[in-house]
Amino acid sequence: MYYVLTLLVILLDQWTKWLIVASMEMGESVKVMNDIFHITSHRNRGAAWGMLEGQFWLFYIITAVVVVALVYFMQTEAKGKPLMKTSLAILLGGAIGNFIDRLFRGEVVDFIQTFIFGYHFPIFNIADAALTIGVLLLFGAMFIEDQKRKRE
């Protein structure tokens, strides 16, 4: 069931990226909510915020290690811990989503542009959002597990 969640994240990520590539020119932007949320066609050849641009071999190695680690933890540490398994499944989907872009496009398609309290947050995608949500859920799961151990 958790791998189905991973697959759903990957499919949603790849479908939305395909829509952007197929229907928008690079740099084109559509206001969804003025000064809050835009859909902006952008490409990223690096990691978060464009760091380490063009270092694909490094991303391939890191992603392979992360995917193996996530699957391992889902099968071992997260047994009987639904929130932890959910967080790892979402993280796995996000990691694979951006990996697919790097592997087949040579760049990551980003398109979600937000303006939070006037700050122009870097443009991101569904895979990036999944990674962020997965990390937050993982912290929550770890906190809950820690509280359970303290009570026992």
Instruction: Measure the CA–CA gap between 86 and 93, rounded to whole angstroms.
Output: 11
**Pair 42, 26: CB distance under 8 Å:** yes
What integer pLDDT is reported at residue 50 of this predicted model? 57
Q: What's the first-to-final CA gap in the chain, in angstroms?
A: 29
pLDDT of residue 117: 81
pLDDT (tens digit per residue) in 42-77: 998 766 655 556 667 777 888 899 999 999 999 998
Catalytic residue among 13, 35, 101, 128: 128
* Residue-level pLDDT at 69: 96
Give the model's confidence band at 112: pLDDT under 50 very low, under 70 low, under 90 confident, else very high: very high
Strand-pair category, 37-44 with 29-33: antiparallel
Q: List pLDDT tens digits, range 25-42.
A: 999 999 998 888 999 999
Give me the residue spans of the domains in the chain: 1-145
Residue 39 parent element (H or E): strand 37-44
Is 128 a known active-site residue? yes
Query: Catalytic site residue 35?
Result: no
**What is the average pLDDT score of the chain?**
91
